[in-house]
Structure 1
Amino acid sequence: MTDAFLIATVAASVASGCVGGAFYAFSAIVMPGLARLSTTQAVTTMQAINVAAVRVPFMLAFVGAAVLSVVLGIRGFATLGEPGALLLIVASALYLVGSFVVTIAANVPINDAVGRADASVPETADLWARLSARWTRLNHVRTVAALAAAALFAVSAVVAG
């Protein structure tokens, strides 16, 4: 593996790990914490979190890991048979499908629905109960996918480096 691809693989591992850590914090701490609040408090808090999440610090890792996954996945296919190539392909697929696509296709639409909700009306309690449970299940998927991708990128760097 060339120095550039080794650096890219380590960067993908770190970025995927950061994203997975953020998702893990939601599964382990934030969502259980929100469950202890009233619906109004939980929805208002989640609305504020969703706005704060779409900023450079998180988006750099989230989108950066996706871009690196595409590049490294292609590199894996181009070097199939060499040490670490299959690991690059699997890590890339895990991050892209299990983390990036699940976020864009499933979690973001739920975030948008929560963002449109009026936290003060009684009907929002049913919406929040349904959406927060689904969002959390999907978040578990993206947590495992991002952390597994981080580990596989790291192993690939060691094997190929």
Structure 2
Amino acid sequence: MPALRTVVLFGATLTTGLGAGLFYSYACSVMPGLARADDRSFVEVMQQINVAILNGWFMLSFLGALVLIGVAGVLELRGGSGSRGVLLWIAAAAAFQLAMLVITGVVNVPLNNRLAAAGAPDHIADPAAVRAAFETTWVRWNVVRALTCTAAFACVAWALRLSARTPAAR
């Protein structure tokens, strides 16, 4: 059972890190790069990204991280390392990861849906207005997602470290 706890906690750490890296890369490269594009190109590229990202590999880290964090918490409760600290760090990771999912569902996905509903970029009468209704809010909340995912990653990584250091985990 200690090996299973370690594998699940490692998987939680890995998938959470992948999610944090994704949102970080958007914050420091994708969106600053798109900020330099003209309005029609910005709308077209974001529409294409929003379609392309809905794939199994993305979902593995996006939803899988919280599932694995939850499983790690259950395994820790049922005979974990014996360190209450491990469970607290796992709980903190779950809270941050859940916050990211809420932000995504309440802010980013509705913005993505509105952007898609605007239609094909070459048929949009005012792409500047479509962009203005999307970009600033989406970018701001993506930075918050990057921070919450990074915090979740740090918490679950610390839980993994603490778990490895306790006698029951060996």
Same fold by TM-score greater than 0.5: yes
Question: Could you tell me which residue of structure 1 aligns to residue 58 of structure 2?
Answer: 58
Q: Aligned partner of 1:94: which letter?
A: F
Deviates more, 1:3-12 or 1:114-123: 114-123
Aligned-pair CA distance for 1:123: 3.0
Give structure 2 stretches of 5+ with no counterpart.
165-170
| Alignment partner of 1:104 is 2:120 | no
Aligned-pair CA distance for 1:115: 1.1
1:3-152 aligned within 5 A: 3-75=3-75, 82-97=84-99, 99-118=100-119, 119-120=121-122, 121-152=124-155
| TM-score with structure 2 setting the length | 0.85
Q: Aligned equivalents of 1:146 and 1:131: distance in 2?
A: 22
Residues 75 and 85 of structure 1 are in contact (CA less than 8 Å); yes or no, is this contact kept in structure 2?
no
How many correspondences in the alignment?
Answer: 160
Residues 72 and 92 of structure 1 are in contact (CA less than 8 Å); yes or no, is this contact kept in structure 2?
no
User: Per the alignment, do residues 22 and 36 of structure 1 end up closer, same or farther by CA in structure 2, a change over 3 Å counting?
Assistant: same
Q: Aligned partner of 2:112: which letter?
A: N
1:75-123 per-residue CA deviation (whole Å, 9 max, x = no partner) reads: 56667962411101001110111x2221122211111111111324343
Deviates more, 1:112-121 or 1:28-37: 112-121
| Secondary structure, aligned partner of 2:42 | helix
Aligned-pair CA distance for 1:16: 0.8
Q: Aligned equivalents of 2:74 and 2:131: distance in 1?
A: 40
Q: Aligned equivalents of 1:33 and 1:123: distance in 2?
A: 21
Find the structure with the greater CA-based Rg.
Answer: 2
Aligned-pair CA distance for 1:73: 4.1
| TM-score with structure 1 setting the length | 0.89
Q: Aligned equivalents of 1:160 and 1:93: distance in 2?
A: 19
Q: Aligned equivalents of 1:88 and 1:153: distance in 2?
A: 6
Q: Aligned equivalents of 2:12 and 2:83: distance in 1?
A: 21
Give structure 1 stretches of 5+ with no counterpart.
none
Deviates more, 1:73-82 or 1:127-136: 73-82
1:113-134 per-residue CA deviation (whole Å, 9 max, x = no partner) reads: 1111132434331231231110
Question: Could you tell me which residue of structure 1 aligns to residue 168 of structure 2?
Answer: none
Aligned-pair CA distance for 1:49: 0.5
Residues 43 and 130 of structure 2 are in contact (CA less than 8 Å); yes or no, is this contact kept in structure 1?
no
Question: Could you tell me which residue of structure 2 aligns to residue 153 of structure 1?
Answer: 156
* RMSD across aligned positions (CA): 2.0
| Secondary structure, aligned partner of 2:84 | coil
Identical columns (%): 32
